[in-house]
Structure 1
Amino acid sequence: MSLLYALKPNPQQMQVDWVEFPKDNLSAFVATMGYSRASYVEYVNNEKIETLIGCHMNAFAYFGGVPKECLYDNMKTVILSRNDYGKGDHRFNPLFADFAKHCGFSIKVCKPYRAKTKGKVERFNHYLRYNFHNGLRVRLSMKHYTLTLDNANAEVLKWLDNTANKRIHQTTLQMPFELLAQEQLQLLPVPKAYQGIHPKALIESVAKKYSPINSHKDLEKLYIPNRDIQCYDEFIPMVANIILPVGFYGGALWS
């Protein structure tokens, strides 16, 4: 065993990526733990933010906890633009940022054109494609079956439990599951199901990020989840004072 893995575990990071399989109309969410190299895979038919959040929750349940930070590339569902509020202070998707806060992890992003920063998950992506996915397609086709979302997820879980996370990893020289058992002792607990942005958090975000001058343009970009409209009633006067200047539209704002 290398000296690095004889030291105390440091479960700081989980690296996250999408792997696309266009011939099958599927993508795979892949998460790899930075210390143990344990990995979780979930096949999906879209890469929407709601899907991304659901996959994160399933990954945390699989790993038995939440790491202190998660690393991404330039996923638009995670990061909207870089350095908007200063160097290294990026503008994240407000829904995903709220989800990260709910779970207790911080968001980290690779530098532009430096995707190899998340090399642990990138290497696993190659392993997934050539050790599992392509072989599964061949086996199914020989039996005249088509690769689907359901059979892909059923088979990949068996592969993760019996092969991928039980192999001797070339870097750590240990089984990922063995190191994960140590890693779990320092992970944050898996949170309750995420219910979406709370209206108060949404209003605070508006007050901080958007000015009256360009508010109409900016609000077009703001994500507002579907909710009962009555839950926003108490915030209407506050929004009016934040967004619209006094006398806008030539009279009273609300009747």
Structure 2
Amino acid sequence: MEDRLLLFLKIQQLKEKKFKVAQIAAELKISRPTVYKYLEMDFEEVREYISNPHRKAKKLDPYRDWIVAWLEEYPHLSAAQIQDRLLERYPDLSIGESTVRLYVSEIREIYQIEKKAVVRHYEAVPEQPMGKQLQVDWGETKQRTTAKKEVKLYFIAFVLAHSRYKYMEWQDRPFTTRDAIRCHENAFRFYGGRPEEIVYDQDHLLTVSENAGDLLLTAEFQAYVKERKFKIHLCRKADPESKGMIENVVKYIKGNFADSRVFSEIKDWNRRAWQWLERTGNKNVHHTTKKRPVAVFLVEKQHLQPVSPLLSNESTDAPSITRNVGKDNTIRYRSNRYTVPTGTYGSLPENRVMIEVKGKKPGTLLIRKPQGREIIAEHPISMEKGKLIRNRNHTRDRSKGIESAKKEVIYSFTDSESAAVYVDELCQRYPRYRRDQLAILQKAILEESEWVDEALRKCVAEQLYSANDFRDVVSHLKSMDAELDRPVHEHLTVQPARPDISVNIRPLDAYTRILEGHAI
């Protein structure tokens, strides 16, 4: 009510300054009929008009605060975007496009929220037969996060040329060849089949402006195309008749779904994106065909080629990410280096490994061989940058296992049962240094084998469970044995004969006189 009274007062003030109706409407960003309406009423009439309890309530009045808040924070939002946000928050709301458009227009006038002009470009695209063509392109956006930061997101978009039925998938990292293959499989599953040909933008195959488009030139993708048996059509540079349809879809996704939305995590973002497709992207009437894509797709779906559930050489349930192994036996992941076992570089095809993230953020990084699922390294993911995340075991020779070393040590003793108990206890006490402890035992056995059995009995009896103690006991036994082997004369000390010494002896009365205090 106060807002409308304020608007009335501003109109009156401008009228007193000799402003014309068109000038008042332009100055206050309202329509001329609104200016005429308020000029025909005085202050009391405006108050009565606004406060009239019999005034018909509008269907969107309960959501007025949300609409005002959205427009004030993002003045450029269209009525269609406002409608989508209402349906996202209130799925059961049934409202027409014209109702939302008129209500948003009224809100803009009352609160003087100017809409920024956005020029949309439309390309003339020839009509394609059903099931003939699918267009694909990549895009990226910058989104505000719940932590008030900014993150870059990447997406791939698909659109069937006849029905305009769309699909998209998002990632929080750039796309790789395997990501593209996985998304194609997900799109075929979403559509229930594949078309005869797929159109890609040749510009993106050669540049990295939107995404590393050269991924489509890799041998891996060519093998995928050969297995799925669809044709590829590459657009010529500046050929809007061939690629304009998917370009508009990319703009639509950026300008309607992604615009002003807050990002929390990628799974939630994809879920919201697919919900947007269901209620808006594929449901709203297309401006060119004047039909709803979801309705036309029901017919086009019957013309798509069937595909097998999964590829013969790959499951698409989870993303596969590959990384190069450097000469220093490390891989790079999110601005950090993670070690792999020494010798990995040079032992794998093309020096590439597969990585996978498990667990809640920050999670654990699993590094696997490219063929099979064997894990060769596992690291906690670091949230810092420029760090070397090292596993000290990766710097050791892992060709001989711990169990093999233990068996070699145990069978070097005469009493292998006691040796097994001793070695097991030693490994339990020093779990991180088992290999070092066994190496000390092996060296002692190799160099001083004569005394190791006796050393074992003494260490068990005295509970000296340390390889260093064992080595010291061996050294002590060796020295004691050397002492026993020496000749007897080496152990005895013979005093030399003393020379004759003459001593002066005083008489007894001399001591008596001293005790009595007399001088001698």
Q: What TM-score range do you get, normalising by the shorter chain?
A: 0.5 to 0.7
Paired position in structure 2 for 1:170 = 287
Deviation, 1:99, is 1.1
Distance 1:30 1:8, change over 3 A: closer
Within the candidate set 98, 113, 128, 2:223 is matched to: 98
Q: Distance in 1 between matches of 2:151 and 2:233?
A: 30
Deviation at 1:227, TM superposition (A): 2.8
The answer on 1:13 being equivalent to 2:140 is: no
Q: Which residue of 2 aligns with 1:86?
A: none
Deviations 1:114-168 (A, max 9, x none): 366211111011111111101323xxxxxxxx44212210100100011110110
Residue 194 of structure 2 is aligned to residue 66 of structure 1? yes
User: Corresponding residue for 1:32?
Assistant: 159
Partner of 1:235: none
> What SS class does the counterpart of residue 190 from structure 2 fall into?
helix
Whether the 8 Å CA contact 1:168–1:174 is kept in 2: the answer is yes
Alignment of 1:104-183 (within 5 A): 104-114=229-239, 117-137=242-262, 146-183=263-300
Q: Is the 8 A contact 2:193 2:304 kept in 1?
A: yes
Equivalent position amino acid for 1:24 in 2: V
| Contact in 1 for aligned 2:128/2:161 (Cα 8 Å) | no
1:37–1:176: 8 Å Cα contact kept in structure 2? Answer: yes
- Tell me the distance in 2 between the aligned counterparts of 1:66 and 1:134: 30
CA contact (8 A) 1:13 1:69 kept: yes
The residue that corresponds to 1:253 in the other structure is: none
Find the aligned partners of 2:130 and 2:279 in 1 and give their Cα distance: 25
Give the structure 1 partner of residue 181 of structure 2.
53
Q: Give the one of 165, 169, 174 matched to 1:42.
A: 169
Residue pair 2:128, 2:162 contacting (<8 A) in 1 also? no
Shift of residue 8 of structure 1? 9.6
Once residues 147 and 122 of structure 1 are traced to their aligned partners in structure 2, the CA distance between those partners, rounded to angstroms, is 27
* Letter matched to residue 27 of structure 1: Y
Question: Is the 2:141–2:258 Cα contact (8 Å) retained in structure 1?
Answer: no
- The answer to whether the 8 A contact 1:9-1:182 is kept is no
Q: Which has the larger radius of gyration?
A: 2
**Secondary structure at 1:166 match in 2:** coil
Deviations 1:90-129 (A, max 9, x none): xxx2211221222221111111343662111110111111
- Cα distance per residue 1:76-103 (max 9 Å; x no partner): 0113xxxxxxxxxxxxx22112212222
Q: Which has the higher contact order (CA 8 A, sep 6+)?
A: 1
CA contact (8 A) 1:69 1:108 kept: yes
Q: Given residue 285 of structure 2, which amino acid in structure 1 is its aligned partner?
A: I
Task: Tell me, in whole angstroms, the C-alpha distance in 2 between the residues paired with 1:192 and 1:102.
Answer: 13
- Aligned-partner SS, 2:254: helix
Q: Flag the 1:100–1:24 CA change in 2: closer, same or farther, 3 A.
A: same
Distance 1:102 1:127, change over 3 A: same
**Structure 1 residue 190: Cα displacement:** 2.6
SS at match of 2:214: coil
Q: Per-residue displacement from partner, 1:206-236 (whole Å, max 9, x unpaired)?
A: xxxxxxxxxxxxxx8xxxx9336xxxxxxxx
Q: Structure 2: which 5+ residue stretches go unaligned?
A: 1-126, 143-149, 206-212, 315-349, 351-368, 373-520
1:56 Cα deviation (Å)?
Answer: 0.5
Count of residues paired in the alignment: 178
CA distance in 2, matches of 1:191, 1:108: 23
**Preserved contact between residue 131 and residue 304 of structure 2 (Cα < 8 Å):** yes
Contact 2:165 2:293 in 1 (8 A): yes
Q: How does 1:72-91 map to 2 (within 5 A)?
A: 72-73=200-201, 74=205, 75-79=213-217
* Residues 139 and 154 in structure 2, CA contact (< 8 A), matched pair in contact too: yes
Gaps of 5+ in 1: 1-6, 80-92, 138-145, 198-219, 229-255
Counterpart of 1:237 in structure 2 is none
Q: 1:250 is matched with which residue?
A: none
Decide whether aligned partners of structure 1 residues 78 and 196 sit closer, same or farther in structure 2, where only a CA change above 3 A counts: farther
From the superposition, tell whether residues 115 and 227 of structure 1 become closer, same or farther in structure 2 (CA, over 3 Å).
farther
Matched residues, percent identical?
Answer: 29
Secondary structure of 2:155's match?
Answer: strand
1:173 CA drift (Å): 0.9
Give 3-state SS (helix, strand or coil) of 2:259's partner: helix
TM-score, normalised by the number of residues in structure 1 = 0.63
Is the Cα–Cα contact under 8 Å of residues 95 and 196 in structure 1 kept in the other structure? no
2:307 corresponding residue in structure 1: 190
Structure 1 residues 154 and 165 mapped into 2: Cα distance closer, same or farther (>3 Å)? same
Check the 8 A contact 2:285/2:291 in 1, yes or no. yes
2:199–2:243 CA contact under 8 A, matched in 1: yes
Instruction: Kindly provide the CA deviation profile for residues 32-63 of structure 1, in whole angstroms up to 9, marking residues without a partner as x.
Output: 11000000011012210100001011111111
SS in structure 2 at match of 1:78: helix
Contact 1:69 1:105 in 2 (8 A): yes
Matched letter for residue 108 of structure 1: H
Q: Which deviates further from its counterpart, 11-20 or 105-114?
A: 105-114
